[in-house]
Amino acid sequence: MYICLYTALAVYFCVMNTIWVASESVDFIFIRNGSKKGSASSNYCDYVRKWADRCKDKISLFIRPDHTNVHGVRKGSATEATSSPETSLPSVFHRGEWSLGVVLDVYWKFAQKGDQLLGRILAGLDPDSSTFDVLPPHFTKPDDPRINVAMELCFGNILGMLGNDSFMHPILLRCLASLVHHEGSLRRIINKIPQHPWKCLPIFCDEVLINYLKTIVTTKPTPGILVKSTGSARHTKIMKAVDEILDIVKEDKKERAQLREERKLLLEDVKKVVKNAIEEKAMQNGHLTYESFAKIINEREQKLVGSIQFTMDAAKLLS
């Protein structure tokens, strides 16, 4: 199972927004209170360990429990990425902050395109899918005042501390779009657990606002805002063409099956019409056919039965 990075960040920021108050100087997002500047936060490691302890029975079906380490997450992602022929090793090394060696580090420059493609794979997108070049959720009306209302509702304290000119503002805007786009999936997760903490997310408490925002969020190209995707694989266009051909073939197959059924019904109708026409023509010409003979016998039989029944009824009355 993959988790959208921006959606995960959006949920995290909504939860963390309450502790970003003016009385405390919070300069970093993921750092633990009291940690020194420059040190890595241990929150992530703690949560991974708690998750591993809670789900150790399921984890043991795939790997040895003592091999469940946080540092293995980066290696696992690198293994997944290098399994695709589209991803270059230098891009993987660069993203994982590994060294290629002195000479290669000096003379090999890492192009942005390779890193963008790698980012899509790490986001959980299938490089063999025709939707690999899908655009991220974004607002079609970025100047809509209700977006600012939602930003203040979800990330007001963070924006107040950092200011609207901070580099975090566009990141939070993208997070908000992802949160709105995946609202249905998040609610399905929340509804499974009665006391789920995400039920208190501010955006989910304003149905009118989130329903409106859903109408202005899309993953389709938006002229003037977001048109072309970055990091798409070479064969994505080919996969799109293949999918179009498959859709045409499936539709053609469906139409052919429907046409066969119509032909069967038409054949039965033709047989019936021809048979009736032959019988009608034969009667006009005075020819005796099986159908006409059977019809005559049935009529005579009905008259005979009726006559016998009339005679029996009359005899009962006389007696």
pLDDT in tens, 241-292: 888 999 999 999 999 988 888 888 877 777 777 777 776 766 666 666 667 7
**What mean pLDDT is reported for the chain?**
77
* Nearest-5° Cα angle at 97, 169 to 3: 55
pLDDT (tens digit per residue) in 204-218: 888 899 999 999 999
Q: Which residues pair with residue 192 across a beta bridge?
A: none
Structure tokens at 132: 């690999």
pLDDT (tens digit per residue) in 56-93: 777 777 777 677 766 666 666 666 666 666 667 777 77
Query: What's the whole-model pTM score?
Result: 0.60
Q: How many CB atoms are located within 10 Å of the residue 69 CB?
A: 12
How far is 52 from 68, CA to CA, in rounded Å? 7
Looking at residue 149, its pLDDT comes to 92
* Comparison of pLDDT for 106 and 161, the residue scoring more: 161
Position of tokens 């005979």? Answer: 304
How far is 44 from 50, CA to CA, in rounded Å? 10
Looking at residue 39, its pLDDT comes to 46
Which candidate, 150, 141, 145, places its Cα nearest to that of 208?
150
Q: How many angstroms from the chain centroid is the CA of residue 290?
A: 64
In the chain, where the domains are located: 5-233, 241-318
